[in-house]
Amino acid sequence: MSLNTDKINLLGMSQDMLEQFFAARDEKPFRARQILQWIYQRGVTDFDEMTDLSKKLRDRLKEEAEIVLPELQSRHDSKDGTVKWLFATDCGQAVETVFIPEPGRGTLCISSQVGCALDCAFCATGAQGFNRNLTKAEIIGQVFVANNELPPRDSGDPAVTNVVFMGMGEPLANYRNVIPVLKLLISDWSYGLSRRRVTISTSGIVPHVEKLGDECNVSLAVSLHAPNDDLRNVIVPINKLHPIADLLDACWTYAAKHANRFITFEYVMLRGVNDSIAHADELVGLLKNKPAKVNLIPFNPFPGTIFKRSSADTIQHFQNRLRQSGLVATTRKTRGADIDAACGQLAGKVSDRVRNRLGDKKIGDRNIKVVSA
C-alpha cells in the first residue's frame, strides 16, 4: 500500500509524539493512549473500527492521518521453525525480518536500515552497501506484521516476546527513528515488553551508546568480534572512529546506570582470524570482572565471502578458555540457515549509495592473514 503524502502516518509515533499530534488538533492527551492500544494491542488499522473515539474525531483522522504498514513481499519458513519475511521499501529494495521460536519465548530480529554503511567484513548486509534509514513505521511495522502472521502463544499472548535489533543495519546510526520504536515496544499502552526483552545490538557508535543510556533503558549487545584494535579496525571498521577502549568505557557507564545490567558482547568465530586461544586470553583481559557476557557466533557463510567458520572443536576450546577464566560465555545455535536467515546472512535488496566504503576489505599480509587450517 502506497503512502498518501498528504496524510500523516501514525504508525511508529511514540506516545509523546501522538500527544503532540492530538494537542495540535485540540484533543486531550488520552487520545494518544487510545490510538496506541488500538494499533498495537488490538491490531486495528482502520479508524472506523476505533469505537471509543467519537465519530467526528474518526472522520477527521481519516482526512488527516493514516496507518500504513510496510509492504510484505514474501515469507519463508525454515524446517527448524524459523520464519523470514521480506518487506519491500522503495525502488525495488527490501529488508528482512526473522522470527526465531524457542521454548518459552519467541524472538523477532528486526532491521533498522536498508543495508548498512559500517562495512563489517564478515556480514552479508554490509556487503550489500547502504541506501537509507528505515522510517519509524517501517521498523515497528515488522513487529506488527509478525504478530499478525504468527499464531498466538498458548497463553493467548502475541507470538513475539523478545525483540532484537540484529537485522539489517546499525540501529544507532538511525537513532532518531529507533528511539520512538523502543518506546513503543516497552510502553504499557502498546506492546508492553520488559526492557530486558528488548535488545539494541550495535557495532559501537560510542556517542549514541552514551545517549541511549540516558534516553531508553533497554538491553545492550555489542558486536565486538575482535579483542584488539589492529584486528577490529579491519573486520569492524567503525573501530577506527571508536576504538575498543572508548567503546568499553561507554559500555561500563551504560551498565552502571542500570544496576550493573550485563552487556552482551557478540563474537563471530572466523577460522584462522580471531579464534585462537591467544585471542581468547586477550578477550578475557578486556572483560574479566566486568558486567559482561560473551555470545560466540559460528560464522554463517554467504556468497562471495572469503571467511570460513571455525571448527566446532575450536569454538568449544575458545568457550572453555573464557569460562575457565571466569567469564560467562555461550555459543549461539545456528537457526534458519536453510532460508538464509541465520546471523550475518541477511541481505535483502539494496541499491548501494555509499561511494567511500568505511572499511578496507583487502584481507592479506598488510591487514589479516586468513589461516585455512
pLDDT of residue 258: 78
pLDDT score for 370: 43
Instruction: Provide the pLDDT for residue 93.
Output: 87
Q: How far apart are CA 42 and CA 63, in angstroms?
A: 22
pLDDT for position 123: 86
- Cα gap 133→111, rounded to integer Å: 10
Distance CA 272, CA 275 (A): 6
- C-alpha distance from residue 316 to each of 81, 298, 312, 325 (Å): 26, 11, 6, 14
pLDDT value at residue 127: 75
Q: What is the pLDDT of residue 349?
A: 54
Write the secondary structure of the chain as one string of H (helix), E (strand) and C (coil). CCCCCCCEECCCCCHHHHHHHHHCCCCCCHHHHHHHHHHHHCCCCCHHHCCCCCHHHHHHHHHHEECCCCEEEEEEECCCCCEEEEEECCCCCEEEEEEEEECCEEEEECCCEEECCCCCCCCHHHHHCEEEECCHHHHHHHHHHHHHHCCCCCCCCCCCCEEEECCCCCHHHHHHHHHHHHHHHHCCCCCCCCHHHEEEEECCCHHHHHHHHHHCCCEEEEECCCCCHHHHHHHCHHHHCCCHHHHHHHHHHHHHHCCCCCEEEEEEEECCCCCCHHHHHHHHHHHCCCCEEEEEEECCCCCCCCCCECCHHHHHHHHHHHHHCCCEEEECCCCCHHHCCCCCCCCCECCCCCCCCCCCCCCCCCCCCCCCC
pLDDT of 372: 40
Q: Which residue has the cell 488538533?
A: 25
Burial 188-214 (b: 16+ CB within 10 A, else e): ebbbebeeebbbbbbbbbbebbbebbe
Per-residue pLDDT at 371: 44
The pLDDT of residue 174: 97
pTM: 0.89
Q: How far is CA 146 from the centre of its chain?
A: 15
Cβ atoms of 114 and 154 within 8 Å: the answer is: no
Multiple choice CATH, 8-66, 1.20.1250.20, 1.10.287.1080, 3.40.50.1000, 1.10.150.530: 1.10.150.530
Radius of gyration of the chain (CA): 21
Residue 69 burial (CB count, 10 A): 18
Segments of the chain scoring below 50 in pLDDT: 1-2, 344-346, 355, 360-373
Domains 8-66 and 71-339 in one fold = no
Q: What pLDDT is recorded for position 4?
A: 54
Q: What is the largest CA-CA distance in the chain?
A: 71
CATH of domain 71-339: 3.20.20.70
Q: Which residues contact 144 (CB under 8 A, 6 or more apart)?
A: 11, 39, 40, 43, 69
Catalytic residue list: 96, 343
What residue spans define the domains of the chain?
8-66, 71-339
